[in-house]
Chain A
Amino acid sequence: MGRKIARRDFLKYSSLLAATPFLDIATLRTFKKGPPDRVGTESVDTVTSVCEMCFWRCLIVGKVKNGRLVKLEGNPKSPSNGEKLCARGNAGIQLLYDPDRLKYPLKRIGKRGEGKWARISWEEAINTIAENMKRVKEKYGIQSLALFPHNASARYIMKFYEAIGSESITEPSIYQCRGNRDIGYKLTFGTPPGSPERIDLANTKLMLFHGTHLGENVHLSQCMEWIRGLGNGAKSIVVDPRFSTAASKADIWLGIRPGTDTALILAWINYLITNNLYDRDFVSRYCTGFEKLKEAVKHATLKWAERITDITAEKIKKAADLMAKHMPQVAVHPGRHSTWYGVGDTQRHRAMAILTAILGAYGKKGTLFLETQLPIQLGQSPCTLETEDEKKGELLREKWPYNLPGTPPSDLIEATISGKPYPIKAWTLWGQNLLETTPNPKRTIEAIQQLDFLLVVDVIPTPAALYADIILPEQTYLERYDVAFTYTNTLTPYISVRQPIVKPLYESKDPYWITKNIVEKMGYKECFPYNDIKENIEESLAPFGLSIEKINATGGVVTFPGEPYADSSNPLKFDTPSGKVELYSESMKEKGLDPVPRFELPEQAPKGFIRLVYGRSPLHTMSRTQNNAWLHNNAPENELWMNDKLARQIGVKNGEYLELENQDGVRSNKSIKVKVTPGIRPDCVFTQALYGSPVKMLSKAYNSGVADNPLFTKIIKDPLVGTVGMRVNFVRFIKNGKVLDMPEMISLPSQLKSAYAERREING
């Protein structure tokens, strides 16, 4: 009996024990909640700012935890990118915390290019710079001070150069990018298409991407609008020798023979005109020179274009019919990077502008829209200096019929080497990776060796920094104030301001401070009157009743009503000599240029070589992000796209590595991985640009991938503006030390061939 009770007791106690766990202490149970929550729940400060991982300037929100930036997100208040951000924007944190950043002012102690430096104080750095610049200026004159600026941070030094009257300013970012396009559109519509391009992709019915690989270049808000547009049922036509991301989403992909784009556009123009498929209303009301245009493109038949472009006449017609069907809601993307073949680059974009015009695709919903003039203009603080009354004499840029701001970089480099027409002895590279982005870096190094003084201001060491006399560490966009930015090339215009999200790291300084100190040391005390950059911004905002605080109070952005479409209150105006859209340009004729674009065959591959074309990786911004740990890890090196038939013929397999050698015998820094695909024509190979940095201090980017820029040794300049075409270089493949025979996969039509040979003979 007693035993039974005992047993029952035991059961009772054990179940009690199970039901009331002896370790159930509420405070210790926190970890039962599941996976830890990193960025979200803990106390996080948010700061709005403007991204600078590329030039698109999306609005961002930085999340800061214990003084450390943990996350970047799109600013939901932004009319353009909203809460969205691209890979690079998200990875901005890794630029800030890049261990390879420039941390202190450095002075060169080795030979130029050796990369030996000593850490110096800011005071010593500023003194040295000021002394040298002053000495060079006094000895060789104002024009001997050259500036290669890039990005917002360089605008103060640019103001100064402009104020003292130096014309030796060059922005490779314009001269190697959208320069030709801007001139081509300006000559036609009187205004460039802007940056961001004012192209209403979201609301259009048909998109034409001609020479823009949107998607691989992630211009964020534009990509968003493009995909939104497609989602709304818009059709798209993509012209590209390669089956790009854009092509994979397109209704019509036209795999064009490289360099024959103008022929295609002219054929479209001719087809639309001869078949009465153009916007007669727009042409008659706003355009001039229509009859002359009609006459000038008469020769451009579909058959003619088929021979040249290697696209069937049927396909060309199909695309044109699609344009006619959706006219005027056709978004003819103006393109962006436009220095392709030297010859004809500006004219190609003029042809695109003309096509846009005859489709009437301008100033309407779903087309190229208008820039809104803001009621306020955010002025820089003026830097008015009494410029030395020096005779400028012959300026380098004056030899070109049309000018972009400053001087073409290649001209400046050549002038530095030759000393003609005037000596150029001190360069300043401000955020500009000259050696990796400007063709023929060997020549650039030759020029650098001629210099008395080279100053590099940057965030991470660029190859040019290896040659610099003084290197200054600049703050990243996450640590500094910048000017207030106006966005007028968007449907909804707005203003935002870049402001520090975290405290500056190391000894980095903001560009205003650096510029002000150098300039004042040189003796120009009145150029930058404000104590700091913030004061400068506040002063520029004040007249309009705005302040940084007010912008922050409205979520980091102030919007204005946009006027993107023309109507009676916002009539179309064209800033051309005739005040109309110039389908035929009298002013060009006066300068001895083709008033209507004419197709010219660009440089062709020598026997045994193939054209190298290039583009972008969606993870990288030119040469700036290769050392970003996050981006690097997902796109560490570039690939060479090669046509499958070509690969089979030369015995190359997918994933194999090949060395490249260009037509001038320049070999690639290493071998490149081949991607064999039917998605590229057999008469060109493609790679993602600007990999393979030669700077050893960049632990990620150094020699990672193949650098394309050193292979660009041929300089062919656009006769209108002096920009240098970069797709006129040709390579052959080297496998295990042996040159592979390059078959001619698609031959040129005989007439073109003979015409080309003739021209080469004439031009030598």
Chain B
Amino acid sequence: MRPELLIDQYPLTEDEKNELKSKKIKKYKFSIIWAHWLNAFAWLVLTVTGVAIINNDKYNLVPLGFTQWMSSLFSSREYLLKFHVWLGIFWILDLSLYVIFGAKRYSPDIKSVFTIDTDDRAWLVSFTRKVMGLNYTFPPQGFLNAGQKLVAMAVFTMTPVIMITGLIMAFQLLPPFFIRASILIHLLAVGAVACALPIHIFMGGCKAHEHESLKSMITGYMSEYFAYKHNYKFWRDVKKAALANKRENP
């Protein structure tokens, strides 16, 4: 392996490609994978049950046929609401474990999510150009690319808002005025994420050449080649750390 690969994202030779393709790199710990899929499940189910709770021809979000089908699916509207609330609480409890036990460990990662550097900005420009069918080149990306960062940002900021407003509504924690406000804020917060999620699902799961990404979110590992191409800075940092480790403990 050429040492300059650790300096910048040079095009790879066939040998290097094959070498990297044969190797796996660990991207996600189990705890992250669990959090992701739990979150994904919660999002999906909570959104679907949530929109079905609004069953009023003046304010419904989805056709009433769907809300009625949902409530009959859950046997009654009371169960639908209860399910929504208790799944929400389960979701809150699970994620709060991460906050309690992982606040220190994950804080640099979370910080990096909220840091948009020049490469990220360039990535966003390139992505836009790509969507518009113009010429583009992607700059090297870190652990997450800028698109993923934006989704994560939305999720990280809106999740607490959704949880708090949800609790306020479920348990009438504040006077009615605030419950009414919570309904609206809950909607807007969910809406903000809901606008980004389909793209995220498409990018992460549907784009054929990104199956690596989906696999990594299941197994935790991705090929080094994929990491080199899509998360160069992350790959580089892992390699550098491995080298340093070898030097210290020969």
Contacts and interface: CB of A to CB of B under 8 A. Distances in A.
Interface of A: 17-19, 21-24, 29, 31-32
Nearest to A23: B75
B78 A21 contact: no
A23 B84 CA distance: 14
B70 to A, nearest CB: 9
B56 interface: no
Nearest to B72: A18
B45 to A, nearest CB: 14
B187 to A, nearest CB: 26
Contacts of B69: 18
B3 to A, nearest CB: 54
B78 A32 contact: yes
Nearest to A15: B69
A19 B72 CA distance: 7
Contact of B72 (A21, A29, A31, A32): A21
B78 A22 contact: no
Interface string B66-84: 0001001111101100010
A23 B72 contact: no
Contact of A24 (B75, B78, B83): B75
Nearest to B79: A23
A17 B78 CA distance: 18
B76 A17 contact: no
A86 to B, nearest CB: 34
Given A22-B74, A31-B78, 6 more contacts: A18-B69, A18-B72, A21-B75, A23-B74, A23-B83, A29-B76
A22 B70 CA distance: 11
| Those 3 A-B pairs whose CB atoms lie nearest each other, nearest first | A21-B75, A23-B75, A24-B75
A20 to B, nearest CB: 9
Contacts of A21: 72-76, 79
A18 B74 CA distance: 8
12 contacts: A17-B73, A18-B69, A18-B73, A21-B73, A21-B75, A21-B79, A22-B73, A22-B74, A23-B74, A23-B75, A29-B75, A32-B76
A35 to B, nearest CB: 13
Most buried by A among B69, B74, B76: B76
B68 to A, nearest CB: 9
B69 to A, nearest CB: 6
Interface in B160-192: none
A735 B22 CA distance: 96
A654 to B, nearest CB: 31
Nearest to B74: A23
B56 to A, nearest CB: 19
Nearest to B77: A32
A17 B75 CA distance: 10
Nearest to B68: A18
Nearest to A19: B72
B57 to A, nearest CB: 21
Interface string B55-99: 000000000000001001111101100010000000000000000
B62 to A, nearest CB: 16
A18 B67 CA distance: 12
Nearest to A17: B73
A31 B75 CA distance: 12
Contacts of B73: 17-18, 21-22
Interface in B17-71: 69
A18 B69 CA distance: 7
Contacts of A29: 75-76
Nearest to A31: B78
Nearest to B70: A18
A511 to B, nearest CB: 46
A17 to B, nearest CB: 6
A67 to B, nearest CB: 30
A22 B75 CA distance: 7
A32 B83 CA distance: 15
A24 B75 CA distance: 6
B65 to A, nearest CB: 11
Nearest to A24: B75
A24 to B, nearest CB: 4
Contacts of B74: 21-23
A617 B75 CA distance: 52
A29 to B, nearest CB: 7
Nearest to B83: A23
B189 to A, nearest CB: 28
A251 B208 CA distance: 93
Contacts of A24: 75
B135 to A, nearest CB: 40
Contacts of A23: 74-75, 79, 83
A204 to B, nearest CB: 52
Contacts of A17: 73
Contacts of B79: 21, 23
Contacts of B75: 21-24, 29
B73 to A, nearest CB: 6
Interface string B107-148: 000000000000000000000000000000000000000000
Contacts of B72: 18-19, 21
Nearest to B69: A18
A23 to B, nearest CB: 4
A33 to B, nearest CB: 11
Contacts of A32: 76, 78
A747 B72 CA distance: 79
A29 B77 CA distance: 11
